[in-house]
Structure 1
Amino acid sequence: MAKESFDKEIQFLRMLVLTSGAFSRQQFAERLGISVHTFDKTIRRLKEVVNSMHQHLQQEQSKEFSETLRFSYYDSTDPLLLFLFRAKSVKESESQRMSLLLGAMNEQALTAMELLDLCCSSLSSDLALPDEKTIRSDLKYLEAVGVIRREPGPRPYRYRIHNDLVRSLSDEELMDLYDFVDVMANTQVPSVQGYLLRDGLKKHLLRNQVEQHAVEPFLYKYHYYSRILDEAHLFTLLHAIRHRRKVRFLYFSPKSEKSYASKNTNPLFERDTEGKAEKTLPLKIVYDHQYGRWYLLSYGREGIRKYRLEGMTQIEEDEPAAEDWFEEKQSELADKIRYSWLIDTGRPVTVRARFYNPEGSEPNFVKDRVMLQGQWGQIVSEDHYSFIYEITVNGTTEIKPWLRSFGSSCEILEPIRLRQEMIAEWKEIQSYYESV
C-alpha cells in the first residue's frame, strides 16, 4: 500500500494554529522552511481534503468550511485538525479499489479471484486494472487492520467485512456504545482511533435512520491541537519499541527557526536544513498532560535522549536491536526517570511545600488536588490551616509549573534556591500589574 507522509501538512497545521493566521504567506513559508508556491499548493490540498469529506455541502457552505482551516478553527467543538487523519492516505486508484472491495464483502464472503473479477469489471477504464497479487495485498492489509476477516474453511479462502459487533447490537445499545466512545475519545489519550471509531458508529446509526440529535448528546471544546497531530507519529514509534527497532528521522528542536524541510531527491536542488538527522533506539513515550505534548525517550550514541514528537519528521524504521541489550537500556532508563516528575533525568532533590487550606470550603479542593496529582509525594504534617507536602524529584524544572498553579495556596519551603526562584517570579508577575 502506498501510504503518503503527512509530515508537511502536520507542521503546516500546527503553525496555522499557533499563529492564528497572523503570518503573511511569505512569513509562514519562511518559518516552515518551504517556498510560497509550496505553501499555496499545500493549502489547496488541505481544502480539497475537507471538500472531499463534505461533498454534501452546497458550494457556498463548502467554501466557508474550507476557510475554517485558516480563520475559525476555535469555533468548532470537534478537533478540526483531526480531518488529516480522516483524509485519504492512499492513491486514487487504491481508494476506488478499496471502496469496491469493501462494498462487495459487505454483502457476502468472497474469494480473492472473485474480488479480482469484480474489480476488473467495475473499475473505471482510465484506471489501471489490478492483478491477483495486488488484490491479495489489499486483503492482507485490510485483514491486518481489522476491517475484514477470513472465514474458516478450506482454500480458496473467503473474506467478509468484520462488523459482527455492530450487527449484533440494537440501536439503543449502539447509541450507548457511541456515547461511551465519544466520552473516552475526548477525555483520554491517545484519541485518534477513538474519533475514527466514533465516526464509524455514527455513520452506521444514521444508515439505520436513527435521529441525528440522538447521536449528539455531548459537545466538547478541544484545546490540544498539537496532541492530535503528534499522534500521527505515535503508533510508528510504538511499533518500533514493540519490535525493538531503531528509527531514523529529521529533528527540529523547539528552538529551531524552522519546523520542516522538504525531502529533496534531486542532488542538484539539495539545500542545508536546520533539522538534524538522528538515529536512535526508542525506549518509552511519555505524555505531558499539562502542556499536551508527547515525548520520546530513547538511547543513542550520546546516551539517553529526549525528543518532542512535534519536531520529528521523515520517521523511518532501521535495524533491530538485540533483546538483552534493549532490556538493559530500558532498565537504565527506568532507573534514570525513577524520580522524574515527567522526563527529567537530573539529580534528585527533595521539595517541601506548605499548602494552605481554603477557608470555609468543604471538601478541601486544594488537598484533594494535591492527593490526586502529587504522584508519589506525601503529606508529612498537617494542622487545621495547612499541610506540608514532600516529594523527591529529578530537578525542580518540571514540578515548578504545578506548584505555581496553586497561586497563594502554596508556599515553597525547600530547597532554598527554588523558594528564591518562586519569589523572583511572583515579584515579576506583580510588576506587570503595577499602576501606569
Structure 2
Amino acid sequence: MAKESFDKEIQFLRMLSLTSGAYNRKQYAKRLGISVHTFDKTQRKLRDIHQSLTDQPAAPNVGSELSDLVRFQYGESAEPLLLFLFRAKSMKETEIERLSVILHTLQNAALTAMELLDACCADLPEELALPDEKTIRADLKYLEDVGVIRKEPGGRPYRYALQQDVLTQLTPEEQLELYDFVDIMANTQVPSVQGYLLRDSLKKIITPHFPQEEATEPYIYKYHYYSRILDEAHLYPLLGAIRQRKRVQFQYFSPKKPSSYSSQNTNPKFEREAGGSSNRIIPIEVVYDHQYGRWYVIGYQNRRRFVKFRMEGITQLEELHPIEEEHMQALKKEWAEISRYSWLVDTGRPVTVRARFFHPQEGERNFILDRVRLQGQWGTITPETDYTFLYEIRVNGITEIKPWLRSFGSSCEILAPLKLRDEMIEEWKEIAAYYEPVREDVQLSDDDEAE
C-alpha cells in the first residue's frame, strides 16, 4: 500500500479520536482535505482491517462502527484502540505469508536457507509469487536482527533455529511477571508501539496457562495519548535519518491550519496545489513533550536555520541524500548550545523563573516536593519554611514552563518574572469567573445540598 495511504489513515484516525465522532462525513472530509467518496473508502478499509484483526462480525452500518468505538468503548479496555493500524501496516501481505511459513517450518528443527526456500515454495498460496534465495536470506537476516531466530554454531551452510527461550526456559509464573513488566513499561514509557506489540505476543504465550482475563488485564482503564501512538509511525524513519545523517522532505500541516491532510491527485486533469507546506530539513533531534503527549522534530534549514515541527502535522515523509559527518556534528553542537535552557524546544530569550511552592499539611506525604524534584529538570530547590520551598530555573522563554507551573494550582505562587506573575493572575481571575453564579437567588435541589 502506498505511503500516502498510510498518512491518510493516520490523519483519519487522529481526527476521529480527537473529535470522538462528533463530525459528519462532509466535515471530516473537508478537515482532511479529501473528497467524501475518499473518506467513505478509507473508512471501509479501516473497518475491514479492524474486523480482520479482532475477528468481529461486519457491522450493518459501515459508517458507525469506528466512530462508535472511539466515542463509547475507548475507556472500557486497556488496549490502545488505534494500535490496530500498526498491526495491519507493519508488513506487506506477501511478507506476512512468507515469514509465517518460515517460522512455522522452524518449529520442529533447525534448517538451512535452501531448505526454508523449498518449504516456502511448497506451502505458499498459489496466487503469491514464489521467493528466490536472495529474498529468503534477507528474511532470515531480518528475523535474526530482531531476535526471533538465531544462527546455530557450525560452518556453512548455516542452520537457523527459533529463539524461543521465553517459552522453554521460563515458568508460566515468570512469563506472567514478564508480561506485567512489559505492560507497565509500554503504558508509561515512550516510544510505546513496539512494547504493545511485544505485550500482544506474550499474551498469546501465557493465555493457555492463565485463561482468566484478570491475569492479562489487571487494569480496567488506562489513558492513552492517541496522537503519541500515531506519531510513532514517523518516529523511527526520522531517528534512522538522524543516525545516517540524511536530509528528509515532507509536507507539513500546521495545527493552526483548517486542514490536516491533502490528497495527491495522480490525474493531471484534477491536479491541484497541496494544502500543506513543503519542507526539506536536516533532522537533528526528536523531542517528546510529556505535558501534552506530543512529538517534535528539530531540523536545520539553510534559510531559516533551526526549525521545529510537531510530528502530527508531517505527511509524505521521504529520505534524501546524506550530509558530511563533520557538518552534522557541528549542527548538533550548535543546537545543544541554543537549546541549553529550553524547557522543551523553546528558543526564546533566557529568563529566570522563581516560584514558591506550598507543602501539604504536616504529617502528610510531601507530594508537591516529590513532583518538583521529578519534573523540575535543572531547577534548584531551596527550603524556605516548614510549609514552603523556593524553586528557581533559567529557561528560554516562559511559554513552555507556564502550563507546568499552572498545573500545581494553589500550591504554586509565581514570584518572578513580573510578566509571568501578571499573566497567571489574569488567567486565575478568568477561571474564577467561570464559577460565579448566574444569579444570586439560585435555589439548589435537595440532592445538590446533600452532596
In structure 2, the partner of 1:28 is 28
**Rounded Cα–Cα distance in structure 1 between residues aligned with 2:8 and 2:31:** 13
> Is the CA contact 2:78–2:217 (under 8 Å) kept in the aligned structure 1?
no
**Rounded Cα–Cα distance in structure 2 between residues aligned with 1:149 and 1:68:** 44
Are 1:112 and 2:74 an aligned pair?
Answer: no
CA-CA distance at 1:121 after TM superposition: 2.0
Are 1:53 and 2:53 an aligned pair?
Answer: yes
In structure 1, the partner of 2:147 is 146
CA-CA distance at 1:3 after TM superposition: 7.8
**Rounded Cα–Cα distance in structure 2 between residues aligned with 1:62 and 1:169:** 46
Per-residue CA deviation, residues 310-336 of structure 1 (Å, 9 max, x unaligned), is 111111111112111111111111111
Are 1:194 and 2:223 an aligned pair?
Answer: no
Q: Greater CA deviation, 247-256 or 84-93?
A: 84-93
In structure 1, the partner of 2:299 is 298
Superposed, 1:264-283 pairs within 5 Å as 264-283=265-284
> Is the CA contact 1:101–1:115 (under 8 Å) kept in the aligned structure 2?
yes
> Is the CA contact 2:4–2:316 (under 8 Å) kept in the aligned structure 1?
no
Gaps of 5+ in 2: 439-451
> Is the CA contact 1:51–1:62 (under 8 Å) kept in the aligned structure 2?
no
In structure 2, the partner of 1:314 is 316
Per-residue CA deviation, residues 222-251 of structure 1 (Å, 9 max, x unaligned), is 231111111111111111111221111111
Distance 1:401 1:134, change over 3 A: same
Per-residue CA deviation, residues 167-218 of structure 1 (Å, 9 max, x unaligned), is 2212121111111111111111111111111111111223x44333433334
**Rounded Cα–Cα distance in structure 2 between residues aligned with 1:135 and 1:191:** 30
In structure 2, the partner of 1:217 is 218
Distance 1:298 1:368, change over 3 A: same
> Is the CA contact 1:379–1:389 (under 8 Å) kept in the aligned structure 2?
yes
AA in 1 matched with 2:151: R
In structure 1, the partner of 2:43 is 43
In structure 2, the partner of 1:435 is 437
In structure 2, the partner of 1:388 is 390
In structure 2, the partner of 1:12 is 12
In structure 2, the partner of 1:349 is 351
CA-CA distance at 1:130 after TM superposition: 2.6
**Rounded Cα–Cα distance in structure 2 between residues aligned with 1:395 and 1:362:** 34
In structure 2, the partner of 1:181 is 182
Per-residue CA deviation, residues 104-139 of structure 1 (Å, 9 max, x unaligned), is 122222222222222222222233323333333333
Gaps of 5+ in 1: none
Q: Aligned Cα RMSD in Å? A: 2.4
Classify the secondary structure of the residue corresponding to 1:413: strand
Are 1:422 and 2:424 an aligned pair?
Answer: yes
Classify the secondary structure of the residue corresponding to 1:75: coil
**Rounded Cα–Cα distance in structure 2 between residues aligned with 1:100 and 1:346:** 56
**Rounded Cα–Cα distance in structure 2 between residues aligned with 1:428 and 1:434:** 10
> Is the CA contact 1:88–1:95 (under 8 Å) kept in the aligned structure 2?
no
AA in 2 matched with 1:17: S
**Rounded Cα–Cα distance in structure 2 between residues aligned with 1:88 and 1:415:** 49
Classify the secondary structure of the residue corresponding to 1:411: strand
AA in 2 matched with 1:127: L
In structure 2, the partner of 1:373 is 375
In structure 1, the partner of 2:447 is none
Distance 1:270 1:136, change over 3 A: farther
> Is the CA contact 1:108–1:160 (under 8 Å) kept in the aligned structure 2?
yes
AA in 1 matched with 2:360: P
In structure 2, the partner of 1:407 is 409
Q: Greater CA deviation, 393-402 or 122-131?
A: 122-131
Q: TM-score, normalised by structure 1?
A: 0.92
**Rounded Cα–Cα distance in structure 2 between residues aligned with 1:288 and 1:325:** 27
Q: Greater CA deviation, 165-174 or 237-246?
A: 165-174
Classify the secondary structure of the residue corresponding to 1:6: helix
In structure 1, the partner of 2:88 is 87
Q: Given the alignment, which residue of 320, 327, 330 partners 2:329? A: 327
> Is the CA contact 2:78–2:219 (under 8 Å) kept in the aligned structure 1?
no
Distance 1:22 1:2, change over 3 A: closer
Per-residue CA deviation, residues 24-74 of structure 1 (Å, 9 max, x unaligned), is 10110110111111111111111111111123x456799997664443333
Distance 1:362 1:292, change over 3 A: same
> Is the CA contact 2:338–2:347 (under 8 Å) kept in the aligned structure 1?
yes
Distance 1:65 1:110, change over 3 A: farther
In structure 1, the partner of 2:130 is 129
Aligned residues: 434
**Rounded Cα–Cα distance in structure 2 between residues aligned with 1:59 and 1:13:** 19
Per-residue CA deviation, residues 243-262 of structure 1 (Å, 9 max, x unaligned), is 22111111111112111122
AA in 2 matched with 1:160: A
> Is the CA contact 2:20–2:67 (under 8 Å) kept in the aligned structure 1?
no
Q: Greater CA deviation, 349-358 or 228-237?
A: 349-358
Classify the secondary structure of the residue corresponding to 2:433: helix
AA in 2 matched with 1:335: E
Q: Greater CA deviation, 131-140 or 44-53?
A: 131-140
Q: Greater CA deviation, 252-261 or 20-29?
A: 252-261
In structure 2, the partner of 1:362 is 364
Distance 1:270 1:4, change over 3 A: closer
In structure 2, the partner of 1:160 is 161
Q: TM-score, normalised by structure 2?
A: 0.89
Classify the secondary structure of the residue corresponding to 1:294: strand
Q: Identity over aligned residues, as a percent?
A: 62
In structure 1, the partner of 2:257 is 256
